[in-house]
Amino acid sequence: MMNSRITAIGTYVPQRKLTNADLEGMVDTSHEWIVQRTGIHERRIAERDEFTSDLCISAVRNLIFRYNKTIEDVDFIIVCTTTPDFPFPTVSCLIQAHFHIQSAGAIDISAACAGFSYGLIMAHSLIASGLHKKVLVIAGETLSKITDYSDRTTCILFGDAAGAVLVEADDQYEGFVSHHVGSEGKGGIHIYRTGLANKLGDQKLLDNSCIVQNGREVFRWVMRTIPDAIHHMMNNSSQTLNDVDWFIPHSANMRLIEPLCEKLEFPLERTLHSLVEFGNTSSSTIPLSLDQGIRSGKISSGDHALLYGFGAGLVHAGVLVRLQLDSVVNEPLPL
């Protein structure tokens, strides 16, 4: 089996900020209430004419600029999103067309907040099989377009962002150590996106599509499921949690991350998240948190990072990676 590693990363967030003070004028809430319950101070919101593919393209451009990478020879593109520009064509095909990548497979996967982890596992599998050598994995969301800004329980959470990584074949360096995936579809009623036919109601056609969440039940599922899944993944690797340098869970909510770390007995100070400035950006929270760790100098070459996503479906997926990115050529601009 061919080894693979993440060689480059790029991220992008829209310029427009939605602060807690802004939300105070929209719904019955306060900055203190939001911070106490979520840890979020602000989030980025796409413009009306800015869509998921635009964010993904900007994240890939950031990757190319920082690492001086060539992507014309990418042979597979995976985009992880629940908010595509269109049902079809896929965002991955829009990416392929924009960058003139001539000979690449292109698919979108919908695994909500676990999407990036699923994408990495698929990329590694494609390379390990010997069928592909260079895979572009992108996670991008414009959740603001499906957020109900009259619902104070959900509108305080979500923001827009994108992150991209290159996964390349490497015959010497083992970048992917272990992984685990799972699902519990019966819990799908606890977080879903309404559609034209509301299967959970009276089949009435709905004018808008938005996120509906039972946060309490999602919390219970995470606490019941994810710690055991992580222990299972670590047991199938040559590492233990003591060997993990950085834990990067999906940045859902600090009220979820803190008890998750407590249950795992993993130090919160070695847990990375992107909540404070960017909120919950679904599939893109993990690459955004990873990139913040790299930009800040916290993450060093050779560090082991445990990436674990979980969310609507209900689905979850994790991957333990040993990080050895290529050298940065151009320092990135601040997000």
Residue given tokens 């990416």 in the structure block: 95
DSSP type of residue 271: B
Residue given tokens 């995976």 in the structure block: 78
Looking at the structure, tell me whether residues 200 and 122 fall in a common domain.
Answer: no
On the question of pLDDT at 203 being above 80, the answer is no
Q: Assess whether 62 carries a catalytic annotation.
A: no
Looking at the structure, tell me whether residues 162 and 216 fall in a common domain.
Answer: no
Alpha-helix runs per DSSP H in the chain = 20-24, 31-38, 52-67, 91-98, 115-128, 215-235, 254-264, 275-278, 285-295
pLDDT band at 306 (very low <50, low <70, confident <90, very high): very high
Q: Does residue 8 fall inside a structural domain?
A: yes
Number of domains in the chain: 2
Looking at the structure, tell me whether residues 307 and 192 fall in a common domain.
Answer: yes
Q: Assess whether 304 carries a catalytic annotation.
A: no
Q: How far apart are CA 113 and CA 284, in angstroms?
A: 8
Return the pLDDT at 208: 59
Average pLDDT over residues 3-22: 97
We report the CATH number of the domain holding residue 97 as 3.40.47.10
Q: What is the pLDDT of residues 309-328, one digit of tens each?
A: 999 989 999 999 999 999 99
Q: Assess whether 250 carries a catalytic annotation.
A: yes
Return the pLDDT at 265: 96
On the question of pLDDT at 132 being above 90, the answer is yes
Looking at the structure, tell me whether residues 59 and 137 fall in a common domain.
Answer: yes
Instruction: Determine the residue type at 308.
Output: Y
Query: Which is catalytic among the residues 179, 180, 250, 316?
Result: 250
Considering 169, 190, 225, which residue would you say is the last residue of a domain? 169
In Å, how far from its chain's centre is CA 116? 5
pLDDT band at 195 (very low <50, low <70, confident <90, very high): low
Counting other chains too, the contacts that 260-266 makes at CB distance below 8 Å and 24 or more residues apart are 260/222, 260/223, 260/226, 260/227, 263/223, 263/227, 264/227, 264/230, 265/241, 266/241
Query: Which is catalytic among the residues 20, 62, 253, 280?
Result: 280
pTM: predicted TM-score of the whole model, two decimal places? 0.94
Looking at the structure, tell me whether residues 134 and 62 fall in a common domain.
Answer: yes
Q: What is the pLDDT of residues 233-260, one digit of tens each?
A: 999 888 899 999 999 999 999 999 999 9
pLDDT band at 202 (very low <50, low <70, confident <90, very high): very low
Considering 113, 135, 169, which residue would you say is the last residue of a domain? 169
Query: Which is catalytic among the residues 56, 80, 93, 113?
Result: 113
Return the pLDDT at 205: 39
Domain span at 228 = 176-322
Q: What is the pLDDT of residues 61-119, one digit of tens each?
A: 999 999 999 999 999 999 999 999 998 999 999 999 999 999 999 999 999 999 999 99
